[in-house]
Amino acid sequence: MELIKKYFPNLLEFQIKKFSSLKILYAYWNTYVNLISRKTFNHFYKQHVLFCLGIAKIFYFYPGSIVMDLGTGGGFPGIPLSIFFPNTKFILVDSIYKKICIVNKIISNLHLDNVHTMCIRAEQLEDIKIDFVVSRAVAKIDKIQNWTKNKFRFKSNYNIQNGSFYFKGGDLTDELKNYPHAIEYPLINFFKEKFFFTKKIIWISNRNTKKTHES
């Protein structure tokens, strides 16, 4: 938890309490359902929470925005981001019912009123309009772009177009070959721990994605 306070010293007291509760909750529920790899649980705040909060170093979700966490699994990045951005609406989507059930219990325990979940396959999503997608290691970028291409609200209140943030690591040359306008943010620029040497956040604008596929 000290790592979170180190990089985000301006957190409010209620946010600190919620972030502090996260590891306790996940330690308990992880004994029932494998929400987080047991190999990485000892590095919970660094490899899971801080990684997710990397977006907050490059971008600010305005109040009232709707963000979909596609393939949320155990609630990442959606739950940490919902604590950091309490006035933003988060939709956590996953097709595995037992994980969504536990995620709902965590959301309830933390009193996260800005979050709700959907147990559904990404390709079956209908009648939903969002401003942004966030996704961590659930599928290749091409697949997610295809699943979400008609889900964005066209009006944007931001200085950038609505679009998608991907949490990635390693060489992404092949994954990004169809997205020449994608912007890559190396997290080592913000977090100095060795874990972040190869970690990055990829931003792909909905507008630029459409142009890429139409060209």
Q: What is the mean pLDDT of residues 187-195?
A: 97
Collapsed DSSP state (helix, strand, coil) of residue 74: coil
Per-residue pLDDT reduced to its tens digit, 101-134? 999 999 999 999 999 999 998 888 888 889 999 9
Domain that holds residue 205: 2-214
DSSP state of 62: P
Per-residue pLDDT reduced to its tens digit, 175-184? 999 999 999 9
What number of other Cβ atoms are within 10 A of residue 28's Cβ?
A: 13
Q: Which of 38-42, 164-168, 179-183 has the lowest mean pLDDT?
A: 38-42
Q: Tell me the CATH number at 154.
A: 3.40.50.150
- What percentage of the chain exceeds 90 in pLDDT? 67
pTM above 0.75, yes or no: yes
CB 19 within 8 A of CB 83: yes
DSSP state of 57: G
Judged on CB neighbours under 10 Å (0-12, 13-18, 19+), 63 is exposed
Q: What's the number of domains the chain is made of?
A: 1
